[in-house]
Structure 1
Amino acid sequence: MLIIKQCKTVLFTLLGLCFVVSANAKEYIVDSEQAFNETVKKLVAGDTIKLANGTYQDFEILFIGKGTKEKPITLTAETKGKVVLSGQSNLRLAGEYLVASGFVFKNGYTPSSAVIEFRRNKKQLAFHSRVSEMVIDNYNNPDKRESDYWVAMYGQYNRFDHNHLVGKRNKGVTLAVRLNTEQSQQNHHKIDHNYFGYRPTFGSNGGETLRIGTSHYSLSNSYTLVENNYFEHTNGEVEIVSVKSGSNTLRGNVFYEARGTLTMRHGNGNIIEENIFIGNGVEHTGGIRVINKDQVIRNNYLEGLTGYRFGSGFTVMNGVPNSPINRYHQVENAKIENNSFINVRHIQLAAGSDAERSAVPINSTMKNNLFFNKSSQPFTLFDDVSGIKFENNTSNTKALSELENGINSQEVSLVRLSNGLLYPATNLPVGAKRDLKVLAKEDTGVSWYEKTSANTAFNSGDIHSVKAGANEFLTAIAQAKSGDVLELLPGNYDIPKLVIINKVLTIKAKEIGNAKITFERSALFEIRDGGSLMLDGIAISGENSPDYSGNSVVRTQKWGMVDNYRFIMRNSSVEDLDINHSFHFFETGKVAFADEIALTNNTFKNITGDIMRLDTELEDLGIYNAEYVNVKGNSFTDVQGSLIKLYRGGSDESTFGPHLLMINNQLSNVGQGKRNKTKASIYLHGVQVTNISDNVVEKSAPITVEHTVGEPVTAITNNTFNATASPKVTELRVKGPHTAVIENNKVN
């Protein structure tokens, strides 16, 4: 078929290949991997190759060519957003002046080390090339511990812009700038106007969103510009951005309710300016962490940040004397100027001070900064800070005596200007500039792909009434959509099958306690990827369960779970988990990770196993099983195992949790069974934040707490222990007495 158009282009179609010939360039449209591979070999400067709209399975795209500045070679979609790459697909580009855009990666994972990679192999890299308007959406290896990048930048003078990356759940950096060869150093890359969406808490090291360099090459300069990107709920670990090279500029970026910090981990001479950090009081929201030499931090705006220690709103670290390249280099010649810290709860100086990290900051300045807090002053000093000169700073709270010569304490009134930021009502010459531009989320990423919320909320869908009976129950589960509520009418529900939870569901009794569930398999519920479960007002009994050891009421899939989940139970009862020994209530699979597990106002009676088993880590690498465990207002009676076994091993300091909150519970005869190897009613190892208060514990095994790394915060207060030994706290890594607060308890 031959068509000649008035614009003097000729359109040919042959064997699934279509191309347009213009005066100086050709446009090809291909609809198969074979056609692409045949066509890409023909491309010359100025040519364009388009993938026809559709879904391509297991398509490893190798885009190679040599364009020019005036005539790049372009790879794009017939219609941007209408080309989906699924299964084990990826994109590699190598050559010069290449442009790729318009694809969506979803429903699969990369078969190689990266989804998008600016190289073919170690010798063939990309230069002066651009990747734009790409979407990578939950494109995760099903093995959460298997590491890969979503984007790996090699070569020099490349640009990554206006892309949408959301939902990375397996190990590895979302976007990594690699400096592992001379051809990739002093690269002058530009990373701009990208939307970095929700990255769930990973539960161990390896969850950074952006990394520039590695410790091995950190004394090399990168000259990467990271500008006008939006980071929303990027919660993977304590380092959202990890700068591990020199001479980079990070400017005009927004960090919105993001847990963690922009960290200058290695490398010297970086510039951090005009960035916006909005925490809105969300726990562990952080700002900037300073390490190494010649760092410049100026004109940044930080508001409503709650993080502390290495995740603080602002942190200046101690270093290691004569530090090896992979540890902490001393802060020297840092310039921290004209920044606004508004309701930033913690500003920590000489942080990390210990026997190893004893090199205090030197030859540094903090001047013309504004500190405003509604209540107490924010500074904590961990060592000598005389090497930081404070000059012409203003605070509305009284400064620490060591800092008061350089911080002017005075009453300050704030007003919110048209850019949405708070400034002094009077024109004080401190803080971030008043015309600071705040990047809008809609100006990042792509316009044709929705920026959806991170998680489906419980009780956000339809309510379905369910009659008593197994068939009715199982049918309702199968037909429900994520967010729906199944309201159980009074009666008995004896369930013969394992109930798979792979959506967000609430199962609620219409009348509290009058919907009774028994089950005939080794478990009642199994939470799998995509699943979260709330139980409300349900009566659960193990009376019909099989006569085996190791049964459970709720479990996660045993291996391979990559999505975080939530489990909540309230106003319910659980009893007679005693058909055999080691009958547990909740049991996690290996590397499964809960954002939240909450038990509220429930009763548990006659149980031969544990209530919550959250201790599958064996390797001691900090791969724990739950971020928040909240236990409030429950009653536990005759439980042979532990109420909680919560374990976080290893020595890494890149995580926030686990957190345990346990208040107003009644424990009677808990933890005394002969198979309870911990000999504890509550066993906590490496838990970072613990608050156990206002509980009554009688005739039970003691509470055992083992502190490891991360300066854990433990408070055991206002409890009553009847015929129960006092809590035991042990420091496993730090010499000296334990740091837990144990007070106002009654021990009878």
Structure 2
Amino acid sequence: MRLINTIKLSLVLIGCISTQLAAKDYFVDDKQAFSDISSNLVAGDKVILKNGTWSDFEILLEGQGTQNSPILLTAETNGKVILSGQSNLRLAGKYLEVSGLVFKNGYTPSSAVIEFRKNKSKLAYNSRVTQVVIDNYNNPDKRESDYWVALYGQHNQFDHSHLVGKRNKGVTVAVRLNTEQSQQNYHKIDNNFFGYRPTFGSNGGETLRIGTSHYSLTDSHTLVENNYFERTNGEVEIISVKSGKNIIRNNVFFEARGTLTLRHGNGNLIEENIFLGNGVDHTGGIRVINKDQIVKNNYLEGLTGYRFGSGFTVMNGVPNSSINRYHQVENATIENNTFVNVQHIQLAAGSDAERSAAPKNSVMKNNLIINQNKQQPFTTFDDVSGIAFSNNVANTKVLDELAYGVKTHTIALSKADNGLLYPESTNIKAGAKRGLKVLKKEDTGVSWYPKVPALVKFDSGKTHTVTASASALLTAIENAQSGDVLELDNGQYDVSKLVKIDKALTIKAKNLGQAKLTFQRSTLFEIHDGGSLKLDGLSISGENAPDAINNSVVRTKKWGMIENYRFEMHNSKITHLDINHSFHFFVTGKGAMADEVVLTSNTFDNVTGNVISLNTEIEDLGIYNAEYVIVKNNTFDNVDGALLKLYRGGSDESTFGPHLQMSNNTLNNVGLGKRNKEQASVYVHGVQVTNIKSNKFIKSAPLVVEHTVGEPKTEISNNTFNATQSPSVKELRVAGPHTAVIKNNNVLNKAG
């Protein structure tokens, strides 16, 4: 027997030596050279791509490596091989490994940038993609969907990579379970940096999805650990779990709008994750749906989200739910979690005529709930007796129906070495374990590619003085860097060219009101990708504009913007937008998305169109044009169109906005023009958060609010309506009276 074993070992060693002898290193300097060797790769081979930019390079790494001798594809120098244009990467076979590549300045020609398969039948197994960068590699058509990383097959790993700036539709990283060969896959997604993903403005902006509803009763066994999610704001679901038996642990969510959502699938483990909201709007935590979910030892702090984006949510389900709706929460274990300054913990959320199945056979125990503002965070929307509370500790009195399982204590917190807050008294046993690992951003992703700030702030660059001529202004705009300020000398600037804005730029008057801008084209400023614009202290007149309809002062690209933008105007005077009818101040193009549009302390007089038009997405698909609209302390006189048209149609519930904040404005003779189709001075449709207060409406068209879906929050308060009809609020999708709060308004000489 010993002789036989010796012979077997010798054969193995001979095999290993022969493999190593056969293996080769290939230094590849162009696409043809790669094509020449790609079909003949064997275990142990190493392909090195020459440093430089490779345009329109579709890489297929295919072959049969072994555990000890994988087939490698790497950069000559990490980060120095740039894949641009229409490039992508596919892996098919076994024991393949790719590293060191950067995808930027282009977009994938296929369904994914990186795909762990060649086609439907040839998948990757036991393969790894590590230390790659995908940076703003987006299809220019924002509604065209693709993945950045799509995992198929089994036992694959995606790790230590840097993904930032996904802007077009589609999940950033998707685990696919659409065939048996990709189910029970045991993939590993770890140590990645998921950077800024801007608000998408509709469904389709998840950062990570594991499975789909169609295969959600199938187990995936995917491990997601040690990843850093920074401001991944695409939509309400940051991670969407749609399969079973996954583990999500030791991840950090930093100022990320949305939640880790157990949307479909059973038996998932969510543990030791850190959620740090820092009070940012709509920062959320964990949402629980389905059976046998375990949520333990997580730390959640400073989260402001509510409803489906709350700091913690347990949903109601649909009785006998179809596979793609909401399955009842059953046998959930929620234990030893810490909630510090989490504004909302919502139980039986989403309860309605359809979602009527309350949670059952579940427990919530040994959790620590501390709100330093003394506001208790719980809201219940249905019978929650199916969640048994025990040994929870809070610093506030909670709802009476939960008080039996929540002890109230005065608790002092102090910061531990890991930066988290824990009770000073060691007698408090509730909450997450002490000594939780808190990832640092710099320890994730790659070390050789910078993690730059998500946005360039206005006024963060240099200030340049501009002499009073149009040519000087155009030259200054062309030469400015993002974040710079252009300070205009007194005088008139009569601009004969359309001014393209493709950087974050502030244009301001050196002396308030003494720099006058006129223009000879159909618009003065046009915002393009990369552009954001702030105007301050200017006088802007349409007196020299063409005698044509649909002029504007500021507009976005008419179609095809992929990057979100910001627009602000302060302390400025706008006049003579009346050369012809439908002369607007600000107009959005289709598909454009503003993070915010802000008007403060401006005056408008004689406008034949709308002041702000944010209503091009009329297909009712849940898409809209601005996340935040803020209008404060302005005066609007003689505006034929509306002050604002803001539209979000459809029944999708995956977005937070739009938001409207309108206060301390005066509207005089606004909205009464015959071409104002809605006959409203302010028209908001499907807006999720509306706060209109302390404004004066004089001889103007009514304020019109139309509610659609998502439990919108509307408050109209402390306004004066003089010779103006009372506000109109309609529920378009829910039977019964409207849900708006209308209070303390003064209606004088009621019109009509």
- Give me the TM-score of the superposition, normalised by structure 2: 0.96
Where 2:476 maps in the other structure, the secondary structure is helix
Matches within 5 A, 1:212-223: 212-223=210-221
Displacement of 1:184: 0.2
Letter in 2 for 1:354: D
Work out the percentage of aligned pairs sharing the same amino acid: 72
Query: Which shifted more, 102-111 or 477-486?
Result: 477-486
Q: Following the alignment from structure 2 to structure 1, what is the Cα–Cα distance between the partners of residues 20 and 29?
A: 21
Letter in 2 for 1:379: F
Displacement of 1:42: 2.3
Question: 127, 130, 134: which is aligned to 2:128?
Answer: 130
Deviations 1:591-640 (CA, angstroms, capped at 9, x unpaired): 10000000000000000000000000121001100000000000000000
Q: Following the alignment from structure 2 to structure 1, what is the Cα–Cα distance between the partners of residues 542 and 230?
A: 43
Maintained 8 Å contact 2:577/2:608: yes
Letter in 1 for 2:418: N
Letter in 2 for 1:483: G
Displacement of 1:429: 1.0
Q: Following the alignment from structure 1 to structure 2, what is the Cα–Cα distance between the partners of residues 477 and 439?
A: 41
Q: Following the alignment from structure 1 to structure 2, what is the Cα–Cα distance between the partners of residues 47 and 619?
A: 52
Displacement of 1:315: 0.2
Q: Following the alignment from structure 1 to structure 2, what is the Cα–Cα distance between the partners of residues 664 and 376?
A: 29
Maintained 8 Å contact 2:539/2:572: yes
The match for 1:158 is 156
The match for 2:484 is 484
The match for 1:498 is 498
The match for 1:693 is 693
Maintained 8 Å contact 2:152/2:176: yes
Displacement of 1:22: 7.0
Displacement of 1:546: 0.4
Asked whether 1:555 is paired with 2:555, we answer yes
The match for 2:34 is 36
The match for 1:534 is 534
Displacement of 1:40: 1.6
Displacement of 1:41: 1.9
Letter in 2 for 1:525: F
Displacement of 1:566: 0.1
Q: Following the alignment from structure 2 to structure 1, what is the Cα–Cα distance between the partners of residues 32 and 573?
A: 60
Q: Following the alignment from structure 2 to structure 1, what is the Cα–Cα distance between the partners of residues 198 and 188?
A: 26
Letter in 1 for 2:422: Y
Q: Following the alignment from structure 2 to structure 1, what is the Cα–Cα distance between the partners of residues 409 and 575?
A: 61
Maintained 8 Å contact 2:618/2:647: no
Deviations 1:301-340 (CA, angstroms, capped at 9, x unpaired): 0000000000000000000000000000000000000000
Q: Following the alignment from structure 1 to structure 2, what is the Cα–Cα distance between the partners of residues 334 and 470?
A: 66
Q: Following the alignment from structure 1 to structure 2, what is the Cα–Cα distance between the partners of residues 70 and 479?
A: 55
Letter in 1 for 2:622: G
Where 1:183 maps in the other structure, the secondary structure is helix
Matches within 5 A, 1:31-110: 31-110=29-108
Q: Following the alignment from structure 2 to structure 1, what is the Cα–Cα distance between the partners of residues 199 and 36?
A: 43
Deviations 1:362-395 (CA, angstroms, capped at 9, x unpaired): 0000000000001210000001000000000000
Deviations 1:543-581 (CA, angstroms, capped at 9, x unpaired): 000000110000000000000000000000101100000
Displacement of 1:166: 0.1
The match for 1:111 is 109
Question: 341, 345, 348: which is aligned to 2:346?
Answer: 348
Deviations 1:198-217 (CA, angstroms, capped at 9, x unpaired): 00000000000000000000
Displacement of 1:439: 1.1
Q: Following the alignment from structure 2 to structure 1, what is the Cα–Cα distance between the partners of residues 492 and 577?
A: 17
Matches within 5 A, 1:178-577: 178-374=176-372, 375-427=374-426, 428-577=428-577
The match for 2:713 is 713
**Cα distance change of structure 1 residues 518 and 412 upon mapping to structure 2, 3 Å threshold:** same
Letter in 1 for 2:92: A
Q: Following the alignment from structure 1 to structure 2, what is the Cα–Cα distance between the partners of residues 646 and 281?
A: 26
Q: Following the alignment from structure 1 to structure 2, what is the Cα–Cα distance between the partners of residues 77 and 476?
A: 40
Q: Following the alignment from structure 2 to structure 1, what is the Cα–Cα distance between the partners of residues 544 and 572?
A: 18
Stretches of structure 1 that go unaligned for 5 or more consecutive residues are 1-20
Deviations 1:119-172 (CA, angstroms, capped at 9, x unpaired): 000000000000000000000000000000000000000000000000000000
The match for 1:634 is 634
Letter in 2 for 1:390: F
Q: Following the alignment from structure 1 to structure 2, what is the Cα–Cα distance between the partners of residues 158 and 148?
A: 20
Where 1:523 maps in the other structure, the secondary structure is coil
Maintained 8 Å contact 2:84/2:103: yes
Deviations 1:29-61 (CA, angstroms, capped at 9, x unpaired): 101111001112221111100101010000000
Q: Following the alignment from structure 1 to structure 2, what is the Cα–Cα distance between the partners of residues 79 and 419?
A: 35
Q: Following the alignment from structure 2 to structure 1, what is the Cα–Cα distance between the partners of residues 281 and 513?
A: 35
In the alignment of these two chains, the number of paired residues is 728
Q: Following the alignment from structure 1 to structure 2, what is the Cα–Cα distance between the partners of residues 331 and 412?
A: 32
Q: Following the alignment from structure 1 to structure 2, what is the Cα–Cα distance between the partners of residues 393 and 203?
A: 38
Maintained 8 Å contact 2:277/2:302: yes
Asked whether 1:595 is paired with 2:624, we answer no
Where 1:76 maps in the other structure, the secondary structure is strand
The match for 2:612 is 612
Displacement of 1:654: 0.3
Displacement of 1:469: 1.1
Deviations 1:456-476 (CA, angstroms, capped at 9, x unpaired): 010111111111111111111
Q: Following the alignment from structure 1 to structure 2, what is the Cα–Cα distance between the partners of residues 135 and 695?
A: 49
The match for 1:121 is 119
Deviations 1:681-722 (CA, angstroms, capped at 9, x unpaired): 000000000000011110000000000000000000001110
Where 1:36 maps in the other structure, the secondary structure is helix
Where 1:272 maps in the other structure, the secondary structure is strand
Q: Following the alignment from structure 2 to structure 1, what is the Cα–Cα distance between the partners of residues 441 and 476?
A: 39
Q: Following the alignment from structure 1 to structure 2, what is the Cα–Cα distance between the partners of residues 49 and 236?
A: 36
The match for 2:674 is 674
Letter in 2 for 1:177: V
Maintained 8 Å contact 2:20/2:44: no
Q: Following the alignment from structure 1 to structure 2, what is the Cα–Cα distance between the partners of residues 41 and 270?
A: 40
Q: Following the alignment from structure 2 to structure 1, what is the Cα–Cα distance between the partners of residues 390 and 180?
A: 41
Letter in 2 for 1:325: I
Letter in 1 for 2:227: N
Deviations 1:73-120 (CA, angstroms, capped at 9, x unpaired): 100001010000000000000000000000000000000000000000
**Superposition CA RMSD, Å:** 0.7
Q: Following the alignment from structure 1 to structure 2, what is the Cα–Cα distance between the partners of residues 24 and 419?
A: 50
- Give me the TM-score of the superposition, normalised by structure 1: 0.97
Q: Following the alignment from structure 1 to structure 2, what is the Cα–Cα distance between the partners of residues 543 and 78?
A: 60
Stretches of structure 2 that go unaligned for 5 or more consecutive residues are 1-18
Letter in 2 for 1:412: I
Displacement of 1:435: 1.5
Q: Following the alignment from structure 2 to structure 1, what is the Cα–Cα distance between the partners of residues 743 and 113?
A: 53
Q: Following the alignment from structure 1 to structure 2, what is the Cα–Cα distance between the partners of residues 149 and 240?
A: 15
Deviations 1:650-701 (CA, angstroms, capped at 9, x unpaired): 1010000000000110110000001000010000000000000011110000
Q: Following the alignment from structure 1 to structure 2, what is the Cα–Cα distance between the partners of residues 408 and 533?
A: 52
Displacement of 1:23: 4.0
Where 2:403 maps in the other structure, the secondary structure is coil
Q: Following the alignment from structure 2 to structure 1, what is the Cα–Cα distance between the partners of residues 31 and 467?
A: 52
Deviations 1:399-456 (CA, angstroms, capped at 9, x unpaired): 1100000000111111111011011111111100001111111111000001010010
Maintained 8 Å contact 2:282/2:309: yes
